[in-house]
Amino acid sequence: MLFKTLLAGLVIAVSAARVDADVTLRMKFEAGKTTRQKLTMKQSMTMSPQGGAVTKMNVEQAMYQDLKCIKVTENVAELEQTLTRATANMQMPAPLNLNLKYDSDEKTASNPFAKQLDAVMRPMIGTPCSMKSDMLGKISDVKVSEEALKGIKNSQLGSLGGDLTSPEGLQRMTEQAAIQFPEGAMAVGHKWDTEITMNSPIGTMTMTRHHTYKGVDPESGLEKIEVTVEKTLEPSETPNPALQGAKVEMKSGSGKGMFLFDAKLGRLARSELLDQTEMEITAGNQVIPQQIDVDVVLEDVTGKSASTAP
């Protein structure tokens, strides 16, 4: 009886040690292997002009992308990312009251909105860009062809400038959806920070992401990392001509979300991030408060077809 009691105690102690043991999370890459991701973005923009009616515009986008590992050298993977399909749904307020849709799988754009968006997206679809990632998840050396960026540069987005039309900017946007791990092992509750800086039409945006390792998620069985985001904006000293004299000021910016990481496969299974920004636009004597909410979800959909996109 005493032996059984001691044995039971030993089993409990070993189990507890396994649960509480520090973990080291790392990306895993295999040359020639391709994974597929789906990025969904829901954006709500509310404007409240003084003395005018409140307007709200909703946009939902979905993009499928293939990520192929070309080779792995000294713990750094050379990757090739290709956008394979993009869809969008825009709900425009009064007086237009329109619901406009876009799908890159359609051979002919069905409306003016779809035609304009297609001119931006079409050069990117099927055109691979290259990048590198180390085993901590740090992205580097993003290279995008001029052909792929042609649609953006010829659009109104291109005239606004900023990082959107540069490989450096696309690298930073890729970093926002990715997870970067600390070098050492982690216990539950371990915290670490990463910082991303981007140039925008109104100044330099700095996003500080605070991570907390939460251990194994009981629902998915995957490693869970919670994240909060702080944003600051350093206004540009030189006015952007595309703003036509309007002044844009960020009043507040924050975000929160989580990552689910598959330690066995060594890749991100899902990420969720809700970003909230309050802006104030001053045009002449009119001040227009603006609230922008962006909900971004990145999913690993390897093995699933892009034809199932909504």
Residue 2 included in any domain: no
Residue 5 included in any domain: no
User: Residue 30: what pLDDT?
Assistant: 96
**Per-residue pLDDT band at 94 (split at 50, 70, 90):** low
- Of the two residues 308 and 230, the one the predictor is more confident about is 230
Residue 12 included in any domain: no
Contacts of 84 (CB under 8 A, 6+ apart): 64, 65, 66, 125, 126, 306
Helix, strand, or coil (residue 140): strand
Query: Which of 106-120, 150-164, 282-296 is the least confident region?
Result: 150-164
Residue 243 included in any domain: yes
> Domain containing 218: what range?
24-308
Q: For helices 112-121 and 146-153, what crossing angle results, to 10°?
A: 150
| Residue 108 burial class via C-beta count within 10 angstroms: exposed 0-12, middle 13-18, buried 19 and up | exposed
**Average pLDDT of the residues in 165-172:** 58
Q: Residue 83 maps to which CATH number?
A: 2.30.230
Residue 131 included in any domain: yes
Interatomic CA distance for residues 121 and 88, integer angstroms: 11
| Tokens matching residue 30 | 């295999």
228 contacts 254 by C-beta, under 8 angstroms: yes
pLDDT surpasses 80 at 258: yes
Residue 15 included in any domain: no
Contacts of 126 (CB under 8 A, 6+ apart): 82, 83, 84
**Per-residue pLDDT band at 107 (split at 50, 70, 90):** confident
Residue 209 included in any domain: yes
For a pLDDT cut of 90, what percent of the chain falls above it?
43
Q: How far, in Å, are 58, 198, 222, 228, 262 from residue 293 at the CA level?
A: 10, 19, 28, 15, 28
Q: What is the pLDDT of residues 273-283, one digit of tens each?
A: 999 999 888 87
Mean pLDDT of the chain: 82
User: Residue 15: what pLDDT?
Assistant: 41
Query: Which of 82-86, 263-267, 285-289 is the least confident region?
Result: 285-289
| Tokens matching residue 215 | 């251990």
Q: Count how many domains the chain has.
A: 1
Give this prediction's pTM: 0.83
Residue 1 included in any domain: no
- Of the two residues 64 and 108, the one the predictor is more confident about is 64
User: Residue 160: what pLDDT?
Assistant: 47
